[in-house]
Structure formats: C-alpha cells, structure tokens
Amino acid sequence: AVVPTRFIPPPIPLIQTDKGLKASDRSGFESHVFPSLFLSLHLSRDLLPNSTKEFLTLPYDLYTPSVQSQLLDRICQKCSLYFASKVMLKSHMIVHKKKTQSASAVVEKEFIVTRTRPVRIAAMRQRE
C-alpha cells in the first residue's frame, strides 16, 4: 500500500540551490542529501538534470559511480526495462525471442492452412 509500483524508487541526491531543490548531476555530488522514502516517491522529474531525460524509467543505479558507464548497456532495447546485471538482461531477452517465435509460428500456421485448403477442395471435387 505504501509503494504502489512495488519498486523502491532510486536514491537521488538533492542539493539546495537558489531556485529550490535540484538533483545533482550524475558526477561529483559531494554535498548531497538523500530524501526519505516518502519524499522520493513523490519527486518530480523536473528536479532531475537533463542527462537523465534519455531514460524512460529511472534506473535504480542511476547515481552509483561504479555503474555509470554501463547503464545504457543494461537497458532492454525493446521494452526499456533496466536490469542490474547483463546476465539478467540476457535472460530477459529470451522472453522477446519467444514472443516473436510464437508470432511467426502463428503466421506459418495460417500460411499452411491457406495453402492446404485448395488441395482439400480438389480432393472433395474428385469424390463428387
């Protein structure tokens, strides 16, 4: 009931500026304060720097210094979900492959049905 999306929001360091609270850039945030969970749930994307606009959903590791260079490599290209490891992303891609294979199997099945139907009609005509 507290977290309706079932995912804890990413920790975003905030700094006080002349214009109010702003999220610091993703590098060099020494004087930062992390907000509470309840404030994090209601943070606006307007507080975030322009470098975060490229993400559809904010990755949890957005401000983790050791993962900064690998963030884009860990996002699914088809559904824009973020995964904490490349192994999990790889296992997730199987879902997309199964969907395309099942869709192509349906197309092949329809093609086979439409292709074999004239043969059935010809067989029925011979019996007449």
**Tokens 């329809």, located at residue:** 110
- Write out the two tokens for 35: 């907000």
47-98 tens-digit pLDDT = 888 877 777 778 888 888 888 888 888 888 888 888 888 999 999 998 888 7
Q: What is the DSSP string of 82-94?
A: B-SSHHHHHHHHH
State how far the alpha carbon of 51 is from the alpha carbons of 34, 79, 92, in Å.
19, 20, 26
Residue 113 pLDDT: 47
Residue pair 15/31 in contact by the 8 Å Cβ criterion: yes
